[in-house]
Structure 1
């Protein structure tokens, strides 16, 4: 009997220790406890040391830190009928532990599935150029739509970032040809603009030189120094334009008529 009584005391001590351990809970700063009293929602407790009545109350721990979730690659058909694979990163946190536990069975899985379907729907409304270049706008649209959809679940979506866009090899070559054509067009435009500016400057220089005829002669001499070097045996001397005008005026003058002798003068 004494031995049985000792076993009973030991058993009672173990039960009391287990009861004590299950009664007092410690929640970290980033944790909250959703308390249910006989199956009904009671209150939210934490952080710190909290008291949970065994067999009467149950606790569900909820992490309030920002969760980083990878959105798997999704096959998306853009507005211009181009098939791409896009993956992204989702950042969210639990803003209301009560809604996150009561209104949705598994808020992690639900948020992941909603992010995948929303990304396919939103990106499918844009062309490929927008998906590649306007990522900031697309990220903001995805974040806004997901935040509104998960508000009833007590989830706050803080950011969505598109990580990578996979293109087919043929599409990559087409984009490369497009970029090459665009660069060629820019080069031609720049060359034509340079020619236009040069012609305007030459016209202005011709007007300035035309006001002072002596200036054109100085320009001739400067050109002579530029095209002549020390090793050259040929001397190039520019002929002033006045000489050309003088010869042209001489050639344009009519010849004097020749007098034919009379018959008397011949005899």
Structure 2
């Protein structure tokens, strides 16, 4: 048997060990501990080694601070243009102030789900169906901000709020499909009409360009003829009637030469005064040269 003094020593040692065990709390990185003293909130222990008063302070709640995902939920909502839609949502959150979460809300997951459902219905009720389909990013941002404001008193941070899908009933889906087909047909008709219009415009531009070029050629030809006429007029003015006779004689000679240069066997009809034309041209040339 142990002496009574040894028993007391062992008892004291055991009590000290128990007190140390009760007074030291090692909190994991992913958790926070809520400490109560006589049923009231005393403190919140963060990750690492923490000390509490043994037998007086107790760890009442161990709260995970990891990010959590609520189960995907379906909510019925009616748009401002009276279309019934089924919206599938998903929410991610984490607890940042455990003392608020523990003492202000009993079932945090159910509370967040109910809040999200109400906000989704309210926000979609402000929008038309086309806006819900086309402005989903804006809808998600609005829902996330509204949920954050609603759960702020619960010590929760909403990290993500997603609208996964917006489903329509079969009747509305058929109506939208008909509308989509009609819109496609309208766009095809408009495109075809614009193509025909463009083709007519291009054809008109081509005809206008052709007419402009013909007119330009005629104008150049007219300018050339006017210039030639003015040259002849100046020659007549300077040399008298003989210059005009010289020009006529040259034209006759050029015509006879062109007729004689034809290919193959042919009969050349020479006017009676052809030799006179050669002679007149030669005389006028010599006279002009002598002058």
Q: Is the pair's TM-score, using the shorter chain for normalization, greater than 0.5?
A: yes
Superposition map of 1:85-164 within 5 A: 85-164=86-165
The Cα of 1:20 is off from its aligned counterpart by 5.7
- Alignment check: 8 A CA contact 1:91 1:159 kept: yes
Distance 1:181 1:198 in 2: 26
Corresponding residue for 1:51? Answer: 51
**Secondary structure at the counterpart of residue 89 of structure 1:** strand
User: How far apart, in 1, do the equivalents of 2:71 and 2:119 lie?
Assistant: 14
The structure richer in helix per residue is: 2
CA gap 1:212/1:173 in 2 versus in 1, 3 angstroms: same
Aligned counterparts of 1:142 and 1:202: Cα–Cα separation in 2? 57
Could you tell me how far 1:23 is from its partner in structure 2? 4.1
Aligned equivalents of 2:23, 2:205: Cα separation in 1 = 96
Query: Matches of 1:179 and 1:124 in 2, distance apart?
Result: 23
Partner SS state of residue 41, structure 2:
strand
Structure 1 pair 70–133 and aligned structure 2 pair: CA distance change class (3 A): farther
Is the alpha carbon distance of 1:13 and 1:113 closer, same or farther for their aligned partners in structure 2, counting shifts above 3 Å?
farther
TM-score computed with the length of structure 2 as normaliser: 0.64
Report the RMSD for the aligned CA atoms in angstroms: 3.0
Alignment correspondent of 1:199? 200
Q: Which one has the largest radius of gyration?
A: 2
Indicate how the Cα distance of structure 1 residues 206 and 51 shifts in structure 2: closer, same or farther if over 3 A, else same: same
Query: How far apart in 2 are the matches of 1:134 and 1:54?
Result: 57
Residue segments in structure 2 that go unaligned for 5+ positions in a row: 3-8, 216-291
Q: CA deviation at 1:58?
A: 2.5
C-alpha distance in 1 between matches for 2:110 and 2:63:
15
Q: Quick one: distance in 2 between partners of 1:173 and 1:17?
A: 75
Deviations 1:224-258 (A, max 9, x none): xxxxxxxxxxxxxxxxxxxxxxxxxxxxxxxxxxx
**Structure 1 stretch displaced more, 24-33 or 159-168:** 24-33
Alpha-carbon distance between aligned partners in 2 of 1:147 and 1:169, rounded to the nearest angstrom: 34
Corresponding residue of 1:38: 38
